[in-house]
Structure 1
Amino acid sequence: MLKIITFCSKTRKPKSIYTFSQLRTFLSPAYYCNEVWEHRLNSPVLQKVNPEDLYNDVDQRYQKLKQISAVDVDIFTNSVNNNQFNGEILDLVHKLRLSADAYNALDSTSHAVIRTLMNYGNKSDLVDAIDDRLNYGLFLDSYTANLLLDTFWKERDYLQGARVASQIMLQEDFGVPLTDSLCLLHCYKYLEKPSEWPKYETVAEPEDEVKVRVKYLRNPYDDDHFDLRDSNKIIGKTLVFLTKGKDDVLSKSFNVLGLALFGKNEEAAKVASSYEKPLCKEVISLLPEDNKLDIKTESLEVEKLLISEVEKNINTSSETDIAKQCEVFSQWEQKRIEALNEQQKRYETQRRLETVKDLKEAIKEKETKLWFFENEEQIELDIMAKRVFYPKKWFGKKKKPRKIDEGYVPPEIRSRQES
């Protein structure tokens, strides 16, 4: 599994020997289909695109109209071939998610985002975006999941690999042997030396009590699936899904471990006691300290068995996956052209409708001027009908007018000199 490379000088005896250990990757370079993926840039649609200009145009249109086109986002994400637009890619995908055209998002958009950020960006940010399905809408398929799992295995980043496996669990997309075996391997390596699972940001409560009137209060609810936040429960449920319906010793051991981590202690004890063969000692030793089962165990080379299962699945499905993905690439290119043509037709129809509307208003205004004297009375009636009459305001109770005394004689006014 480990490959040691030693460099030493032939002319003189080296003072020290430098050794480099590199973990072997599972998938061959051909599985990544890099040549076919790069061939997309030869498309006439993408050759005419300047990513920077396209981003500015789409962003300005969104700021003005709060609208964004799924085809434009797909063209932008597929036209990027470097690390200069990683932030812009996530920004446009997020804005597309907020727009009304989100339901028209193309499958090639998600693949392009995952592939570009995997090759040129921060992989941790990529997994965070995949985990934030509501704001980004990035979903893994078996092929992209295999690429990520193989990349994280090569980099010994078992935490991110386990997070990818948890995404497959949340999508309930198990059943592909190669993906399942890679997920199981990453989960096991993560549980051997668990690291800190990313925490979700919580809104800080204000110091002063603030009362807000609401129509109704929601009762607290946890669906034990999308609401999972504890890393043990996430990994536990992933292991349960991965080993469901399997009866070999290793799968049964991981199933018991998954149930225990998920909090199903009684069910875990029941499965362990009903299994006739001894379970795997290395897997059972990963049980939480408060849930140690008194069952028979035997020692197995777990990592070696898991790696052999991955290699077997690669030999079985590698060529089929490559051929299928190459065909998908060509289908995506054709769908992009069709979607772009449909968008141009919609824009052309919208422009024609606006032109017809402007012509109708101009004709109506001209007709009003030409036939003004013949329709003067009707025009005045129309103007009066459009007037809005507001009710009179009440300024309080009116005072009674003063009564005038007819016999009142005003006093005689004299100056001081006369007096």
Structure 2
Amino acid sequence: FRHSPNCFYLRDWTIHCWIRQCLKYGALDKALYTLKNKVQYGIFPESFTFNLLLDAFIKEENYQDAVSVVTELMLQESFDRVSTQLLSLYALYKYLSEKPELKWDQERNVGASLFLAGLQQENTVGYSSQLYGYALLGKVELCYGLRSVYNQMPLMWTPGYFKRALNVMEKVLSLPGDIKICRDSIDILKECLNLVAKALEERSAENAEDVKNEESAITENTEKTEADFLLEYLNRFQLVQEKMLECEQSDLEKYEQQLKEWEKRELH
């Protein structure tokens, strides 16, 4: 759509101004609606505009909609700025701390967002997020098939997401310094592995029964254990907040420079 005639005259600052007006008049629902309906509106914000929208939802403690924004970030592969990465990870973990019952596609979206945002961070938060994301994606891969993971997603279509999770753990063990994997991420990987193993055993045992009943049993099992995954993740938010303070000033300077460049381009 971004290459169509309808979107030819739509500029970054136009999108930025639209989101700012939505924030100004408390129309966050309209901002999110236009963001999610790209075909109709062609809203593809840059990082700073995403940050403003994320910040607004986080301040209202509306973490479900904040995660919807993070999902759009993930689909656009726009985790370039550190502030965007940290805001996204903060929103994801706050949302998950509420212990939501996630459907398989929500697990895929959250897992992909955690993985891609964590991939930019070479620290405890980053590697732990990668491990957590790989664990969720591995569960979706084995329970619902590899196509369910990569279809219309910026993810690899080669199998082995659980293997990649183990590779992350091995890599961290070989790193010097204080970088570690959070115990919670290891527990989540263990839970996902046990869940998938149990589901596969049930699938084999019920191979002669009705397929519909088999799928219902797997779905119930997934929803039952999802709420137990995240009991101690609030402790990791402090790390995200501390890192955010370090990068905030430099990102604000870049933001001001971006506004000046937009003004110059608009005058010409």
Q: Distance in 2 between matches of 1:245 and 1:177?
A: 8
**Which residue is equivalent to 1:132?**
37
CA contact (8 A) 1:108 1:332 kept: no
**Which residue is equivalent to 1:188?**
93
**Which residue is equivalent to 2:18?**
113
Match of 2:193, SS?
coil
**Which residue is equivalent to 1:235?**
110
Instruction: Specify which of 315, 318, 340 is matched with residue 252 of structure 2.
Output: 318
Distance 1:164 1:311, change over 3 A: same
Aligned pairs for 1:161-176 (under 5 A) are 161-176=66-81
Distance 1:101 1:257, change over 3 A: closer
Match of 2:80, SS?
coil
Aligned pairs for 1:5-404 (under 5 A) are 100-195=5-100, 230-244=105-119, 246-263=121-138, 264-276=161-173, 278-286=180-188, 289-291=191-193, 301-325=235-259, 327-331=260-264, 333-335=266-268
Match of 1:138, SS?
coil
Q: Deviations over 1:266-294 (max 9, x none)?
A: 3213322443175212444555843369x
Opposite residue 234 of structure 1, the aligned amino acid is N
Q: Distance in 2 between matches of 1:194 and 1:145?
A: 25
CA contact (8 A) 1:237 1:258 kept: yes
TM-score where L is the length of structure 1: 0.43
Tell me which protein shows more helix as a share of its residues. 2
- Contiguous gaps of at least 5 residues in structure 2: 139-160, 174-178, 196-231
Paired residue total: 204
Q: Deviations over 1:71-128 (max 9, x none)?
A: xxxxxxxxxxxxxxxxxxxxxxxxx99x944323233322222222222243133213
Larger radius of gyration: 1
**Which residue is equivalent to 1:52?**
none
Structure 1 residue 238 displacement after superposition:
1.3
Aligned structure 1 segments of 4 or more residues deviating by more than 6 angstroms: none
Distance 1:267 1:329, change over 3 A: closer
Opposite residue 236 of structure 2, the aligned amino acid is V
Match of 1:301, SS?
helix
- Contiguous gaps of at least 5 residues in structure 1: 1-95, 200-228, 336-419
Q: Distance in 1 between matches of 2:38 and 2:233?
A: 40
Say which structure, 1 or 2, has more relative contact order (CA 8 Å, 6+ apart): 2
Structure 1 residue 333 displacement after superposition:
4.0
Between 1:301-310 and 1:187-196, the stretch displaced more is 187-196
Distance 1:292 1:246, change over 3 A: farther
Distance 1:322 1:245, change over 3 A: closer
Distance 1:114 1:322, change over 3 A: same
Opposite residue 271 of structure 1, the aligned amino acid is V
Q: Distance in 1 between matches of 2:182 and 2:189?
A: 12
Structure 1 residue 306 displacement after superposition:
0.5
